[in-house]
Structure 1
Amino acid sequence: MKYLTVREHLRSLIAEELGVGDAIPSERELCGQFGVSRMTVRQAVDALVVEGLLERVQGRGTFVAQPKVDLQLRLASFPEEMRRRGMEPDLRVLAAELTAATPQLAAALELPVGADVYYLRRLRLADGLPMAVEQNWVPAALVPDLLEPEPASSVYDALAERELAPTWGEDVIEAVQLDEEVAGHLGISPGAAGLQIRRRTFSGDLAVDYGVSVYRGDRYSLWVPVSAPGPTLVPSRRRLAAVVGTRNEPNPKEGLA
C-alpha cells in the first residue's frame, strides 16, 4: 500500500535525520516525491501521530514529538526507573512534614486513627524536565529519620535500609485532568491529560507506604504485562476499593479526606 511507503520514509527521517520539534516535509513535498494523493500522505502521518512519533500543532504543522517514557508497574523508585532508561533523575521537595493519620489514611496504612505519619510531596524530574508530582504517606514509626537531616530522595530506599524493602503493592490507575496547581509544577496547561496512580505498598504483610503520583500524559505511556487468569495474588482483605475508592485528590493536610 502506498501509504506504508510514505509512513516508513517518515519513520526513517525521524530516526536518522530529524530531532524533537523538527517539522516534517509538507504534504505537497511528500505528494510530489511519492506520486500519491494528499489523502494517502495524511493516512501515513495519522498512523505516526497515533504511535506518538509525530504531533500536530494547529496552524503550524506537524512535528517530531517528544518521546514518551514507558511507565511499567514495578516496585521501583523513580530515580531507579529513570536511570534504567538512561535519564538523570532529580527532585524538588514541595512539602515534608509529620502529620496525623485520618480515618481513611489510617485504613490504607492499617494504623490507628491519629497515628504519626510522614507526608512527602515532591516534583520529580528527568533530564531537567518535570515528569510527575508525587505524594507519599509513610508510618513514622517505621522510618523515624525519614525527614532527617533532609527528606529522603527515595522512600523505597529508606524502607530497604530498615529491612522493610517493598515486596508487593496494589494500584488504582485513572486518567485525570490536571488542575492549575499541579499543571504549574509540571510546566503544562491546566486541564491537560495526566495519569494518576494510587498505590499501597507492602513489605510482607506490613503496609509501609501509601502514594498518589500524577504523571504528565504527554510524556508517559502505560505498559502492563497480562497473562491468563490464575489464582488471586493477594488476600481479598487487601482490596483497595473500600479504602481508596474515592476519585478526589487527597488533601495533603488530611490524608485521604
Structure 2
Amino acid sequence: MEILPRPFDAQPLDGTSTVPKHVQLRESLRSYIVRSGEPGAAIPSERLLGEYFGVARMTVRQAVDCLVAEEVLERVVGLGTFVARAKVDLHMKMTSYTEEMIRRGMVPDARVLSFEQQGASPLVARELQIEIGQPVVRFRRQLLADGEPMSVDENFIPAHRVVGILDDPPPTSLYSVLSEKYGLVMEWGEDTIEATAASPSIARLLNVEMNAPLLKIQRHAYVARAMIDYSVSYYRADRYKLWVPLQRPGVRSPRAYSSKRLG
C-alpha cells in the first residue's frame, strides 16, 4: 500500500486565496523540497499528493510539470518523480577535470581503465595528424565527482612527446603532469560537441541506461601549432548542461568593464 513519507509536512493550501491552487501547490512543494528534499529522493505519487492537498490529480500534475520544467524535479519513466540533482555547467576551458571539480567544491576521483602505449589506429592517426601505427600513449579513465560517475575520458598523446610517462603511476591530473614534467602547457584547442546515445559498455561505466543521452566531446589540444592531445569524452547529459558565453564581435563584455574598474 502506498503511503506518504514521514515526515511530509508541506504547507497546506489556502482555500480562501485568490492564487490558483496549482500555483500554491507548486510553491508548497518547492518550499518542502528546499527544506527537506535530498537530491535523488522520490516525491509522493500524484494520487497521494492529491489526497494530501485535497485537489484533483490534474492540479497536482500541473504543479509538478512546472517544477520539472524548472529542473527542480525530474521524471524517470517507469520509476517516478524525483528531486533533481544539480547539473554541472560544462564551460569549455583548457583546464583538467581535477582542477574543474575542485573549483566547484566537489571531490574528484578517477578509475584508470587503461594506461598504455599502442600504435595509432587510422582514426587516431588522422585526428593527431601523425602516421598510422606511430606510437601513442592511450589514457582512458572513468571520472567521478563525489563518488558518482560523471564521464568517461580517453586521451591519445604522441609517445615521443611524453617519454617515460608510463614509468610512473597513472597521473591524477594529466594536464598537470604534461605541464610540470614535460613543459607542455596547453595553449588552445578545438572542441566538437554532439549528442549521442550510451553504448552498453559506456552505459555500464556511467551507471545509466543503455541508449541514455550523452554529450560526446572530441578535443584537439595544442601547444603553439603542435597538436599534443586528442581526446574523446562521454558526459552524462543528466549531470551536465552546456554553458556557452556569447559576444558580438568588437563589443567589450560587461566583465571586461568590471575588470577594468576593479584593476
TM-score (norm: length of structure 1): 0.79
Runs of 5+ unmatched residues, structure 2? 1-18, 251-263
The match for 1:131 is 150
Query: What amino acid is the match of 1:6?
Result: L
Match of 1:66 among 76, 85, 90: 85
Counterparts in 2 of 1:53 and 1:211: CA distance versus 1, 3 Å: same
Q: How many angstroms does 1:33 deviate by? A: 7.3
In the aligned structure 1, how far is the partner of 2:247 from the partner of 2:140? 34
Match of 2:71 among 52, 66, 84: 52
CA contact (8 A) 1:199 1:211 kept: yes
Residue 192 in structure 1 maps to residue 212 in structure 2? yes
The match for 2:159 is 140
The match for 2:231 is 211
Query: What amino acid is the match of 2:26?
Result: R
Residue 175 in structure 1 maps to residue 206 in structure 2? no
The match for 2:241 is 221
Aligned CA-pair RMSD: 2.5
In the aligned structure 1, how far is the partner of 2:189 from the partner of 2:107? 26
Q: How many residues align?
A: 231
The match for 1:241 is none
Counterparts in 2 of 1:12 and 1:117: CA distance versus 1, 3 Å: same
In the aligned structure 2, how far is the partner of 1:216 from the partner of 1:207? 27
| Structure with more contact order per residue of length (Cα contacts < 8 Å, sep ≥ 6) | 1
In the aligned structure 2, how far is the partner of 1:89 from the partner of 1:78? 8
TM-score (norm: length of structure 2): 0.78
The match for 1:79 is 98
In the aligned structure 2, how far is the partner of 1:175 from the partner of 1:90? 25
The match for 1:159 is 178
Q: Percent identity?
A: 48
> SS of 1:141's equivalent?
helix
Counterparts in 2 of 1:188 and 1:78: CA distance versus 1, 3 Å: same
In the aligned structure 2, how far is the partner of 1:151 from the partner of 1:189? 29
> SS of 2:94's equivalent?
coil
In the aligned structure 1, how far is the partner of 2:208 from the partner of 2:102? 24
CA contact (8 A) 1:143 1:158 kept: no
Q: Mean alpha-carbon deviation: is it higher for 193-202 or for 19-28?
A: 19-28
Q: How many angstroms does 1:124 deviate by? A: 0.7
Counterparts in 2 of 1:13 and 1:159: CA distance versus 1, 3 Å: same
CA contact (8 A) 1:183 1:189 kept: yes
CA contact (8 A) 1:48 1:54 kept: yes
Match of 2:40 among 21, 27, 32: 21
Q: How many angstroms does 1:60 deviate by? A: 5.2
Query: What amino acid is the match of 1:211?
Result: S
The match for 2:129 is 110
> SS of 1:73's equivalent?
coil
